[in-house]
Amino acid sequence: MSTVVPICCGGLDISDIIADLPARKTHFPIKYLGLPLTMGWLRRVDFQTLVDKTAAKLNRWNGRNLNYAGRLTLVKSALTSQAIYFLSALRAPKAILKDIDAKLKRFLWVGTDELTGSKCKVNWVRAVRSKKNGGLGTLPLVRFARALRLKWLWRAWSPEDKPWIGTELPCNNIDLLLFADDGTTMTIGKGKKIGLWNCAWVQGRSPRDIAPSIFKISRRKDIMLDEALTNNTWISDIVLQHPSFSANHFVEFIQLWTVVQQVQLRQDVHDEITWKFTESKQYSASSTYHAQFLGAIATNFNELIWSAWVPPRCKLIIQLACNPKQDLDGG
What is the per-residue pLDDT across 113-129, written as a single tens digit (0 to 9) for each?
664 555 667 777 777 87
Which of 38, 6, 4 is CA-nearest to residue 24? 4
DSSP assignment letter at 205:
B
Angle at 151 between CA 146 and CA 157, to 5 degrees: 135
Alpha helices in the chain (DSSP H): 14-17, 48-59, 68-78, 81-89, 94-109, 124-127, 141-155, 173-177, 207-210, 212-216, 225-229, 233-236, 247-260, 285-291, 301, 312-321
Contact 47, 86 (CB under 8 A): yes
pLDDT at 156: 82
Q: Before 22, cis peptide (omega within 30)?
A: no
pLDDT band at 282 (very low <50, low <70, confident <90, very high): very high
Residue 303 CA to residue 157 CA, distance in Å, equals 39
274: burial class by Cβ within 10 Å (0-12, 13-18, 19+)? middle
Handedness of CA 220, 249, 186, 141 (dihedral sign): negative
Element (H, E) at 32: strand 30-32
In this prediction, residue 248 has a pLDDT band, given cuts at 50, 70 and 90, of very high
Q: How far apart are CA 47 and CA 39, in angstroms?
A: 16
* Prediction pTM value: 0.74
DSSP SS3 for 202: strand
pLDDT over 70 at 80, yes or no: no
Return all residues near 159 (Cβ < 8 A) that are at least 6 apart: 270
Average pLDDT over residues 293-308: 77
Ranges 16-30, 84-98, 112-126, 301-315: which has the least confidence: 112-126
Q: What is the pLDDT of residue 238?
A: 93
- The CA-atom distances, in angstroms, between 119 and each of 106, 113, 141, 173, 331 are 9, 12, 22, 36, 8
231-235's contacts with Cβ under 8 Å and 24+ in sequence apart are 234/196, 234/260
Region 284-289: what's the mean pLDDT? 91
Q: What angle do CA 88, 92, 94 make, to 5 degrees?
A: 135
Going by their DSSP bridges, the two strands 35-37 and 30-32 should be labelled as antiparallel
Q: Is pLDDT larger for residue 61 or for residue 330? A: 61
What number is the average pLDDT over the span 137-144?
84
Mean of the pLDDT values across residues 54-70? Answer: 76
